[in-house]
Structure 1
């Protein structure tokens, strides 16, 4: 592989502004997230934009991390920012999580 074939590497701390902890506490890997309808028109860039696109249908934090090929901690910080901006909402946590969902999350985390 030549240097021209390699994708540019962005360090995780650049994506989070150097933060390692999310502003919104309680984001577990199975937490279901969805974007509000207006989120697609928000002026977002990079991973934030991609998270909003992915969350047009409910996604777990683990699903997002696997889809972005990003560390869970980084995704949690970015998602917390989006929640703070009112662009992402946390799903109904009172709902029972299905075995299928738990298995899918487990498989996605293993893939990381």
Structure 2
């Protein structure tokens, strides 16, 4: 069984690294697979190892939630994991959890856990979307329905 990791260029679903159709045709056709460079092969780490075996974030975190570096406090990230350092660097500009996942080629579930942990430690700020954004309140709808029934 092939051991495709997700770090260093592998597809988060365990397949070979992504290639565009142009790359595929230049390298001998669409069935040709690109092998990761030796440096990439040595950095393969299983997602559960990065999260300490956890499969759920500490807090609910929507994939469209926006994340930014906590700029009010300077944190020394040199002792932190490479994933923390990379997320912190990306979040100098506001990014969604999904963008962070895609840009770092880390599975979305792992990204949610890491970002939630970083938020709990004050390393990043979360800007969660409103749950009922643009939708009327349920209590209001029930009152309207009750009023209509009384007519």
TM-score band w.r.t. shorter chain:
0.7 to 0.9
**Residue 3 to residue 55, structure 1, CA distance change in 2 (3 Å):** closer
Q: Separation in 2 of the partners of 1:15 and 1:7?
A: 17
Alignment match, 2:46: 11
Residue 50 of structure 1: SS of its match in structure 2?
A: helix
Higher relative contact order (CA 8 A, sep 6+): 1
**Looking at CA atoms only, which structure, 1 or 2, has the larger radius of gyration?**
2
| Runs of 5+ consecutive residues of structure 2 not aligned to the other structure | 1-34, 134-151
Cα deviation digits, residues 53-75 of structure 1 (max 9, x gap): 10011000000000110100000
- TM-score, reference length from structure 1: 0.73
**Residue 19 to residue 2, structure 1, CA distance change in 2 (3 Å):** closer
More helix by share: 1
Match of 2:93 among 44, 57, 80: 57
Alignment match, 2:123: 87
How many equivalent pairs are there? 94
User: Could you tell me whether the CA contact under 8 Å between 1:34 and 1:55 is conserved in 2?
Assistant: yes
Q: Separation in 2 of the partners of 1:6 and 1:13?
A: 19
- TM-score, reference length from structure 2: 0.55
Cα deviation digits, residues 63-102 of structure 1 (max 9, x gap): 00001101000000000100100111112635x8xxxxxx
User: Could you tell me whether the CA contact under 8 Å between 2:69 and 2:125 is conserved in 1?
Assistant: yes
| Runs of 5+ consecutive residues of structure 1 not aligned to the other structure | 97-112
**Residue 36 to residue 3, structure 1, CA distance change in 2 (3 Å):** closer
Residue 41 of structure 1: SS of its match in structure 2?
A: coil
